[in-house]
A = this chain, B = another copy of it.
């Protein structure tokens, strides 16, 4: 048995670890930027795909299949990102005679198209955000919808996307004028004035349910994850379980997720994402037909190995006993560590990692895709790895997160580690009072930058500086990417991308 991971970084490392645990041989693929990457050095086989740009390497279906043929791989795992939710890739794997570790191309397709998935979920009885199914001919038609669904509602351009032409309406009085303006904006932006309405879920949380299905009709839900801490729609910190989901809500969420999985015959690891409103109603958002970045928090709490289970079911095995009988224990939190500088608007910080000190001890797991000396290339997503902590309850998980962050040190590139240290001091985080917009709101004011280092004793800093210089430890070559960054801070703010 031999498995090729059509991916790089920490997820390739994670899947190779599962392969080693299962006794499956491993095949790495790499671009020219990754020849010396950890995922290559740990594999039994490795094949060069092409130059650094992803479309010539990790996104090239032809080259990936060629690599699988060269090394006589039986299985192909897409990881996440890249081709993880590409139905054509899944189909090409199948047609090439390889077992694709993921759902069938048909399932990927059905969940990929938002309108189709919405339709199938509605049929399966899974709650979706109430919305009109066709453009409104008049404000009155929208008013009728709003009376059924309740205010506030959101007007959306039928031809639109990316937030343009969207307009919130809080009551019937505003409706007529809002409809006029939304329609005019839709005409202006998209050349089509058609507008429809959806119920607006205010202050929602992003809650997702982990499901695992096998190819014999078995399917289980392994609780939910809390993924509301997002920056610009990107998850930053994830938890399991959600601190606000009660057993009753969990049971309803699990039922809905399983109904969604069964409706499409889901036969792999997957995630059903929901919006959870403050009144505990929830709505289907989308289904991710892959192993999620944040799967380790579920692994920690439920005591399962999702990466291994995904391979097992791809091989045709039934769900394992420990997955069927899994029970939750404790609380887990994951932090995604990016090569981005929170003090400079999360500007990417590619470069060479000069030192890496990983945390350890009880309840701490670090899944890293880099090591000391690794080069973080410009060409890909700048995630370096993930820190996962597990404790008996949320308080202990937070305490252990604080301990792990004290031990964690990454030098050479800027990382999001200071963001998590800052987060630990936020009472909203500690008391779990946040929704999907909370982090963006808090970051607007430059909060992370302000707190950083403010509590440090200046006597300590000065003594470290001199002793370090005396010992020749502070380095003679200043880091190019940081040259005079302090004095330039004002300028940098003004130049930051939007």
**Which stretch of A232-240, A296-304, A428-436 is in the interface?**
A296-304
Q: What CA separation (Å) do A392 and B406 show in the bound complex?
A: 30
Q: For residue A42, which residues in chain B have a CB less than 8 angstroms away from its CB?
A: 406-407
Contact flags (1/0) for A394-414 with B, using CB distance below 8 Å? Answer: 001001101100110000000
Q: What CA separation (Å) do A21 and B322 show in the bound complex?
A: 30
Q: For residue A362, which residues in chain B have a CB less than 8 angstroms away from its CB?
A: 17-18, 296, 299, 305, 307, 365
Q: For residue A407, which residues in chain B have a CB less than 8 angstroms away from its CB?
A: 42
Q: With A361-B367, A362-B299 known to touch, is A406 a contact of B329 (CB < 8 Å)?
A: no
| A130, CB-defined interface residue at 8 Å | no
A392 touches B22 (CB 8 A): no
A303 touches B392 (CB 8 A): yes
- Minimal beta-carbon separation of A176 from chain B (angstroms): 57
| A162, CB-defined interface residue at 8 Å | no
The one of B330, B365, B391, B406 that contacts A364, using a Cβ cutoff of 8 Å: B365
| A91, CB-defined interface residue at 8 Å | no
Q: What CA separation (Å) do A349 and B358 show in the bound complex?
A: 25
| A449, CB-defined interface residue at 8 Å | no
Identify the 7 closest CB pairs spanning chains A and B, nearest first. Answer: A20-B403, A17-B361, A21-B399, A322-B392, A360-B366, A303-B329, A21-B400
B303 touches A403 (CB 8 A): no
Residue ID in chain B nearest A388 by CB atoms: B362
B304 touches A396 (CB 8 A): no
Residue ID in chain B nearest A295 by CB atoms: B362
| A23, CB-defined interface residue at 8 Å | yes
Residue ID in chain B nearest A396 by CB atoms: B21
Q: What CA separation (Å) do A399 and B406 show in the bound complex?
A: 31
The copy count of this chain in the complex is 2
Q: For residue A307, which residues in chain B have a CB less than 8 angstroms away from its CB?
A: 362
| A310, CB-defined interface residue at 8 Å | no
Question: Restricting to A375-431, which residues have a CB under 8 Å from any CB of B?
Answer: 391-393, 396, 399-400, 402-403, 406-407
Q: What CA separation (Å) do A42 and B330 show in the bound complex?
A: 27
Q: For residue A304, which residues in chain B have a CB less than 8 angstroms away from its CB?
A: 392
26 CB contacts below 8 A, A to B, read A13-B361, A14-B361, A17-B362, A17-B403, A20-B399, A20-B406, A21-B396, A21-B399, A21-B400, A21-B403, A42-B407, A296-B362, A299-B362, A303-B392, A304-B392, A305-B362, A305-B363, A305-B396, A307-B362, A322-B393, A329-B329, A357-B371, A358-B358, A360-B365, A361-B365, A362-B365
| A368, CB-defined interface residue at 8 Å | yes
A402 touches B20 (CB 8 A): yes
Q: For residue A296, which residues in chain B have a CB less than 8 angstroms away from its CB?
A: 362
Residue ID in chain B nearest A401 by CB atoms: B21
Q: What CA separation (Å) do A14 and B13 show in the bound complex?
A: 27
Q: For residue A406, which residues in chain B have a CB less than 8 angstroms away from its CB?
A: 20, 42
Q: What CA separation (Å) do A358 and B366 show in the bound complex?
A: 11
- Minimal beta-carbon separation of A179 from chain B (angstroms): 53
- The residue in A20, A361, A365, A392 that gathers the most chain B C-beta atoms within 10 A of its C-beta is A361
Q: For residue A371, which residues in chain B have a CB less than 8 angstroms away from its CB?
A: 357
Residue ID in chain B nearest A18 by CB atoms: B362
Q: What CA separation (Å) do A22 and B406 show in the bound complex?
A: 14
Q: For residue A392, which residues in chain B have a CB less than 8 angstroms away from its CB?
A: 303-305, 322
